[in-house]
Amino acid sequence: MLTNEIIKKMKHPKRDQFDTIIFNEDITITNIPKEAYEYVVNGKFAIKWVMEQYQVKKDSKSGIIDNPNDFSDNEEYIFNLLLRIINVSVQTIELKNDLPPLEIEED
């Protein structure tokens, strides 16, 4: 079980310090390889997308609160998701970099 699993908003400690993510008041993820931020899906870093989507938000018009902590009964869901996205991002870039160059043969 995580300490204080509640997520409000994940963030980097400084604007350009991407090797660290402050998950919540008690949990900080460090040593994130910079290659993890090379993995882009639909024009956005996958890690950044998770960080933006999994935060408590309040709609200004309706007052409805979107709380990702309510998405699952597993209180470690968001933390594990973030770790998986970091891992998948790094592995995908490693695989991409290991591919041989594309050769196009003309007829």
List the domain range (segments joined by +) for residue 36: 1-71
DSSP structural state of residue 31? -
Answer whether 0.85 is exceeded by the pTM: no
Q: Identify which of 40, 42, 55, 44 has the alpha carbon closest to the alpha carbon of residue 8.
A: 55
Dihedral of CA atoms 53, 13, 78, 68 in degrees, nearest 10, equals -40
Whether 58 is covered by a domain: the verdict is yes
Whether 82 is covered by a domain: the verdict is no
Write out pLDDT tens, residues 66-84: 999 888 888 899 999 999 9
Write out pLDDT tens, residues 16-74: 999 999 999 999 999 999 999 999 988 999 999 999 999 999 999 999 999 998 888 88
Q: How far apart are CA 84 and CA 77, in angstroms?
A: 10
Count of domains in the chain? 1
**Residue 89 burial by CB count (10 A; 0-12/13-18/19+): exposed, middle or buried?**
buried
Whether 91 is covered by a domain: the verdict is no
Dihedral of CA atoms 16, 95, 97, 84 in degrees, nearest 10, equals 0
Whether 29 is covered by a domain: the verdict is yes
pLDDT-derived band at 6 (thresholds 50, 70, 90) equals confident
Which pLDDT does position 27 carry in this prediction?
94
Whether 81 is covered by a domain: the verdict is no
